[in-house]
Amino acid sequence: MDAESNIVLIGMPGVGKSTVGVLLAKTLSRGFIDTDVLIQSREGRRLQELLNEFGRQAFVEIESRHVRSLDCRGHVISTGGSVVYGDEAMQHLKSLGVVVHLDLTCELLQERLRRTDERGVVKDRNQSICQLYAERQPLYRRYADVRVDCEGLKHEEVVSRIIEELGKKGLRKAAG
């Protein structure tokens, strides 16, 4: 893996992918892409509006289409938590670089996530955060090259841990 490879952050809503992504990009002097912002910009609507209008499955297809259109090098890419529902999107992201799963317990995520019905979280209406977590964890594990446990860490510490884990996996060049 070289400096041209991307670092892709995946994980549950509320884990800190966007904030950590910005800090990681700054630390490594890389560009930053937030796929949720990209989708909203291209579609001209908030994620929740897209979910409300088209439903869960169609949203996943919209997200997958936009993610598969990415053609960049040397960036940090923060994805929406639901990107793992699109195998083609995940295969594309893996072809662009290393995939890092940021992880927290469902209990901590519940504390962080309020009003998921306004936030654009792809889940069934009556699905709890812990049920969503249980559904997605196997997918995050399947696609991740590296897992970072974020429990008890500040955002800056998560950035350091990502760089450390990339180094342990022999991916230090990707980490600057």
The model carries a pTM of 0.91
Question: Cα separation of 14 and 124, whole Å?
Answer: 17
Task: Give tens-digit pLDDT for 93-152.
Answer: 999 999 999 999 988 888 777 665 555 566 677 788 889 999 999 999 999 999 999 999
- The residues with which 33 forms a beta bridge, in sequence order, are 77
Question: Cα separation of 48 and 71, whole Å?
Answer: 26
162 neighbors 100 (Cβ within 8 angstroms): yes
Which domains, ranges and CATH numbers included, belong to the chain?
6-169 (3.40.50.300)
Residue with tokens 């230090």: 172
Task: Give tens-digit pLDDT for 39-91.
Answer: 999 999 999 899 889 988 999 999 999 999 999 999 999 999 999 999 999 99
Amino acid (one-letter) located at 126:
N
Mean of pLDDT values over 29-40: 95
Closest Cα to residue 25, out of 86, 97, 92, 82?
97
